[in-house]
Structure 1
Amino acid sequence: MLEISGLHAGYGTSMVLHGVSMTIPRGTVTALMGRNGMGKTTLCRTLMGLVAPASGSIRHDEAEIAGLPPHRVAARGIAYVPQGRGIFERFTVQENLELGVAPWGGRVPAHVYRWFPLLADMRRRTAGTLSGGEQQTLALARALAANPTTLILDEPSEGLQPSLVEEMATLLLRIVGERRMTLFLVEQNLALVRRTATIVAFLVDGVIAGGAAARELAANSPLIHRHLGL
């Protein structure tokens, strides 16, 4: 479980998050939606220890992690796939995956290749030669190689064609089900959110502005119009 309470964070004297509070139950998929510039990525980076909070609490499985450096957050079982993927383009697929194995590299778990059989056939290819969809797959697989209990995904569908988004949704549901993993999905793709999430919250100007059951949202929902402008 990931519990966020009264979280304020930003860059220097410029605050981006203003008292964010939300709970992400263990073994569920919770989505966060919002327009660009609302603070979604800052929230992800703060959860991961890449941005220091000004105040507030972040508890993961009852342990306080607010303010911990990224390597200690990762050691507590949290993995993060940032927007833009963040793979090492000059390394091979295999080397990227090995870097994901905590704490300093090692053998890639067999279930990673079971979930991503395409990568098994590409393990000697340089990551920079992969397509956008393949790179996103690699970024996700690398995060899962560390066997996290909680996974944070920031805009994983960005740049992917609809068929690949559907494949991603199916795979995420399978992984969450098999591992009873907690998934925090930051996403603007309504189809992916409705397909995978149980609950969706909306972030507006650094504040949680409401929430709803994900499957009840439709493209013409007043919440979608209000918070996403769709």
Structure 2
Amino acid sequence: MISFQWHRMFMLLTWGLTIAAFVLIFLELKDWSAEDNPHAILGCATTVLAFVQPIGAAFRPHPDSRRRPIFNWLHWLVGNVAHILGIVTIFFATKLTKAELPDWMDWILVGYVAFHVAVHLILSISSIVSERNNGKRVNSFPMKEMTSSRSPLHSPERKQDSPHSCFRKFMLGVYILVILLLVAALIIITVFAPIEDSWVKFQNMIAPNNTQGQ
């Protein structure tokens, strides 16, 4: 399925970015953080979970294996725990002295969490309604519908959009747009930290003080 291909691509992208960030942090600090903040420990735990997630997926049992349900739940659990830990880790990052992040950044993160949960619930409810309209059981783990060659099953029914698919695609588009804007904002705040001082310098640069030259 196309959704599985996207899932795999984003999982590998997340894996690569997480490992790169982990390495860059240690190259920058050259030591363990001396601050009394759980950010470092939580970050390491998140990195470990993100690291093993795609490796475990590569060794998933055959769809007909009795161990496949165990894998499905473990894969789901590790992914969600890594996601939650990652968000919590970012919250603690705002308190790091070296980061110089503003206190109001917490509200941006709170907004993200609320938005993510809301979209997740909306899409989940939409999927349940769609599956019921199709008279099918909700399948939370589409990976188990793979053939022995681990390629998606192809059938005319799978090529047809399920009910409410347009709505879900619209919500996905909105979600991606909001997340991209959020990521851009967080990058700007982090790169130009302390952002308040950088903003003042920017204002002075484009609008010099009237007293200059007098």
Q: Same-fold call, TM > 0.5?
A: no
- TM-score bracket, shorter-length normalisation: under 0.3
Higher RCO (C-alpha 8 Å, min separation 6): 1
Higher helix proportion (structure 1 or 2)? 2
Q: TM-score, normalised by structure 2?
A: 0.26
Q: Is the radius of gyration larger for structure 1 or structure 2?
A: 2
Q: TM-score, normalised by structure 1?
A: 0.25
Higher strand proportion (structure 1 or 2)? 1
